[in-house]
Amino acid sequence: MDLNRTEVDGVPIYWTAGTGPLTAHLIFRVGVRDETFLTTGLTHLVEHLVMSGAVDRRLECNANVDLTFTRFTVTGGEESVASFLSKICASVSAPPLVRLGVEKKILGAESGTVVSPPIAALLRRRFGLTSLGLADVVPPALDSLGEQDVLGLIRSHFTAGNAAVAMAGGRPAPELALALPSGRRQLPRGPVPVGLPLPMWFEYEGQVLGLSFQVPAGTDQECEAARTVGRIVCDRAYLLRQQHGWIYDIDFRFFQASDGVGYLCFEADPPAKHGEEVRLGLAGILTDLQGHGPTDAELAANLAELTTYLADPRSGIEVASAAAEAYLMEAAVLTPADKMDLASGVGRETCRAVLANWLETLIVGMPEGISPADDTLSPEKARSYPAITGREFRRGLRGAFYGVPRGTRLVVGEDGVSCLGSGQDTSIRWDDVVGLELTGPGALAIIGADSLSMELQDVWFSDGRRAFQMISDRIDPSMKFVPASVSDPSVRTG
């Protein structure tokens, strides 16, 4: 399979020949990780608006947003593909803003996620409510996103300089035009892990087990080794199904973060009663691979699988898409031959190096109701937050009727806010606030970047109205929002 490159209207096109139907992906380097907590859903909203101005129900076409990229895809004849891509570009240049309200409603009814919920939960624990951690956020303020938000994102990210095309099944048609607004490449900001007492565990809702850890990812060789380890772990873990019946399936995702760092995330589906056995089984697999590396047979099987994959014409669009995405990330564009060379260079020691720090950087998600029998894993609730100093508001008489524990007090200071004495002391610094949710009259939730949420009612505290006014005064108005579930938006904050 040969990977070819051409350019139309300043947009690079990576394509592979073939006998199948022509398939094309118009890819923009923008995704959920480029949003903020309060603008989560904006990229998806832009994708819907653009698609609504170009969709043709007679064509096999679609669009999607993931953590890092937005894609518009189409399959058909040369003329149909060229026409669809041209319509997408025209819709980017002049989005049908009249449909803004309708598309918001459609997004509210849509339930898709950019990664599976178990892996999204792992990312949120590690990165909080920023960057990759936003994978686990339901858009909190979709109704407040307006035309200027849409147009601003289009001007910055939906441009010729931030786009690439992948094609398979044929070459670009001579009449293809990609008239996009001018702009420059937009690289994502690297995610910053929140301060966690690693290794750590938390509890999922439901019957699922997940784990993630840090891996070296500064070179293409290291990234290929990480993916190889992921596949081998899943292959070995399949024995947990075949021999014990503890799981139905297991899968993994590899994320290249920044500065030479990546993360491997795994998810499995054991019933709660077998959650601990599966955790121990995966830990045993990782420990053995760290100590001894994979076998020669496992490495040979991995190489054979890649050879078969690249020989399949159906992989052409994935090869071209990987090249387009690499270009957009300013990374090396790899041909199929390059991929084979990388895979051939993965050996026992490179795989062992992938797992050098897996235990020290581990986060485990356990099935609901199950705790790991491992004292080295800190529970999520063990996280500590230095108390804020400032004006104290003690529990009032009415707070007792609401079940607020004796001794609870709210502290509002220059640096942030603390709720102390309620069973688990929590603090959020003003600089870390990503949202102030106005949940009802005299009720609010302060949301921190590490995903900590402090839910309060003013009637719980003596002079609680004054405390809420002090909180409101310290938080930027742009961070205040009323959730869609609140029918009465008049919320008293002072």
Contacts of 58 (CB under 8 A, 6+ apart): none
For 19-64, write each residue's pLDDT tens digit.
Answer: 778 999 999 999 999 999 999 999 999 999 999 987 777 778 999 9
What pLDDT, on a 0 to 100 scale, did the predictor assign at position 103?
93
Greatest Cα pair distance, the chain, in angstroms, is 77
Of 288, 171, 142, 270, which Cα lies nearest the Cα of 229? 288
Q: Of 348, 115, 323, which is closest to residue 220 (Cα–Cα)?
A: 323
CATH 3.30.870.10 fits 201-380, yes or no: no
**Residue 252 to residue 234: CA distance in whole angstroms:** 7
How do the pLDDT tens digits run along the chain, 494 residues long? Answer: 789 999 999 999 999 987 778 999 999 999 999 999 999 999 999 999 999 987 777 778 999 999 999 999 999 989 999 999 999 999 999 999 999 999 999 998 887 789 999 999 999 999 999 999 999 999 999 999 999 999 999 999 999 999 999 999 988 888 999 999 999 999 998 898 988 889 999 999 999 999 999 999 999 999 999 999 999 999 999 888 888 888 899 999 999 987 889 999 999 999 999 999 999 999 999 999 999 999 999 999 999 999 998 888 888 999 999 999 999 999 999 999 999 999 999 999 999 999 999 999 999 999 999 999 999 999 987 677 889 999 999 999 999 999 999 999 999 999 999 999 877 789 999 999 999 999 889 999 999 999 999 999 999 999 999 999 999 999 999 999 998 765 544 444 43
Whether domain 391-481 has CATH 3.40.1000? no
DSSP for 241-260 reads: HHTT---S-EEEEEEEEETT
Report yes or no: 209 and 278 within 8 Å, Cβ to Cβ: yes
pLDDT value for 249: 92
**Three-class SS of residue 388?**
coil
**Collapsed DSSP state (helix, strand, coil) of residue 11:** strand
Helical (H) or strand (E) element with 153:
helix 147-157
**Which regions of the chain carry the CATH code 2.30.29?**
391-481
Q: Where in the chain is the domain with CATH 3.30.830.10?
A: 4-168, 201-380
pLDDT of residue 492: 41
CA 408 to chain centre: 36
What's the CA gap between 309 and 223, in Å, rounded? Answer: 18
Per-residue pLDDT at 190: 87
Q: What ranges in 255-413 are assigned the alpha helix state H?
A: 275-292, 296-311, 316-328, 336-344, 348-354, 397-401
The label of the residue with tokens 């409101």 reads 472
Q: What residues are paired with 428 via a beta bridge?
A: 417
- Residue 213 in contact with residue 363, Cβ under 8 Å? yes
Q: Do 255 and 132 form a contact (C-beta atoms < 8 A)?
A: yes
> At 59, is the secondary structure helix, strand, or coil?
coil
Report the topology of domain 4-168. Answer: Cytochrome Bc1 Complex; Chain A, domain 1 (3.30.830)
100-112 pLDDT, tens digit per residue, is 999 999 998 887 7
**Distance in angstroms between the alpha carbons of the first and the last residue of the chain:** 67
- Peptide bond connecting 199 to the previous residue in cis, omega within 30 degrees of 0: yes
The whole-angstrom separation of Cα 456 and Cα 357 is: 39
